[in-house]
Amino acid sequence: MTNTGKHPKLIRDTNLQLIFIITLFGVMGVASLAPAFPEIMKYFHLKEAEVGLLIAAFTLPGVFLTPIMGILADRVGRKNILIPSLMLFGLAGFTCVFIRDFHLLLIARVFQGIGATSLGSLNVTLIGDLYSGQQRIKAMGYNASVLSIGTASYPAIGGALAVAGWYFPFVLPILAVPFGILIALKLKNPEPEKGQDLKSYLRNTWKNINQRTVWALFIVNILVFFLIYGAYLTYLPILMERRLASGSLMIGIMMSLTSGTTALTSAFIGKINRYLKGRNILIAGTLLYFLAMLFFSFADSYLMLVPPAMLFGLGHGMFIPTIQTLLVGFAPLKQRAAFMSINSMVLRIGQTIGPLMIGLAFALGGVSYAFYGAGIIALIMMGIVSAFVRIDKQES
């Protein structure tokens, strides 16, 4: 692990800064595209539920491939998986700029999603490998803050690019190629010992996973992405276009407000953790999610959209770094990539199913019902955390 005593300012650690870059590419694939959904719908003559396929095509490969990538990262090394993934993500994403057939666009998104499969788990895995104790909590908070800065910036950037054409947001992924080369040269991380016995490795990985609290955390992680990808990213743009006649730029600005709030909250998660321990932070986060979904459901002006946008950001800034810190503590370095890849896989399930499930609520009663359904999911999350999450050992 990094000797953090040599780094009085953790934020200046080169390794952590390179992890931030990985994190930014991990959220680029959807966040930069969401504000362009209305324009994409017009160009391809899509219905509201169909545009969600652009998210599903991107996230679906992760449902099946993420555990394989995690096992490989434990067996052959983090960077040997990470660098090719960045290259594929960048090249496949950039290809979308030139495609004018929706089915071919979905295929390109699948390949881009394959490249993105390992990014969302290896960034957190690397933090677990490099840091421990309070330094790990702070690093997770900083990383979640950077993630939110990305999700704050990408909608605004994507929205601005989409003004020139729906395909311009797909220019951004090509940046993964030069940055991938930089990470290959500069990232200094510990790698698992080679030659682990596969049977013992799989047995120990399963032992770390097969715990009640871990399964509960996995389930709420699925559900939180119902809220993010189902209600927020898919149906907030539709709500704003229908009720306020908002264009891509205004949609991007409103989403940036949420992500900015998340970034600020995540940056202070270390201090929040001094007063509220992990389980209570998760409960508070789910309550804020519920309130945000409720207020979104009847918002019909920009003024009424601001409070739920900020509530969602506040809840997200508390929830995400906390659950990542708790989960990464359940696995040693030798099995950590596989363990966190299972978590990434369940996130992909939430990302993939979320737009479809919330789409059913939308079909029943329109955009308000989409957010009603998301609010019910937030309450279910709160119940699961309250009843099944016991993390005294992790919090000590």
Tens digits of residue pLDDT in 385-396? 998 887 654 443
| pLDDT of res. 16 | 93
| pLDDT of res. 396 | 35
More confident: 31 or 69: 69
Calpha distance 84→94 (Å, rounded): 15
| pLDDT of res. 24 | 93
| pLDDT of res. 393 | 47
pLDDT band at 2 (very low <50, low <70, confident <90, very high): low
More confident: 355 or 104: 104
Q: What mean pLDDT, rounded, does the chain reach?
A: 86
Burial per residue of 289-301, b for 16 or more beta-carbon CB atoms within 10 angstroms, e otherwise: bbbbbbbbbebee
Give φ, ψ of 323 to 5 degrees: -70, -35
Which tokens is 248 given? 């891509």
Which tokens is 92 given? 């496949």
Q: Which domains does the chain have, with CATH numbers?
A: 11-190+208-395 (1.20.1250.20)
Calpha distance 281→384 (Å, rounded): 14
What does the DSSP assignment read for 139-199? HHHHHHHHHHHHHHHHHHHHHHHHHH-TTGGGGGGGGHHHHHHHHHHH-----PPS---HH
DSSP 45: T
Number of C-beta neighbours around residue 368 at 10 A? 17
| pLDDT of res. 27 | 84
**pLDDT tens profile 282-323:** 999 999 999 999 999 999 899 999 999 999 999 998 998 888
Alpha carbons within 13 angstroms on the beta-carbon side of residue 268 total 9
Average pLDDT over residues 174-192: 92
Which tokens is 340 given? 């966190």
**With 90 as the cut, is the pLDDT of residue 85 above it?**
yes
pLDDT band at 195 (very low <50, low <70, confident <90, very high): low
Provide the phi-psi class of 148: left if phi over 0, else alpha when psi is between -120 and 50, else beta.
alpha
Which tokens is 207 given? 């032992």
DSSP 231: I
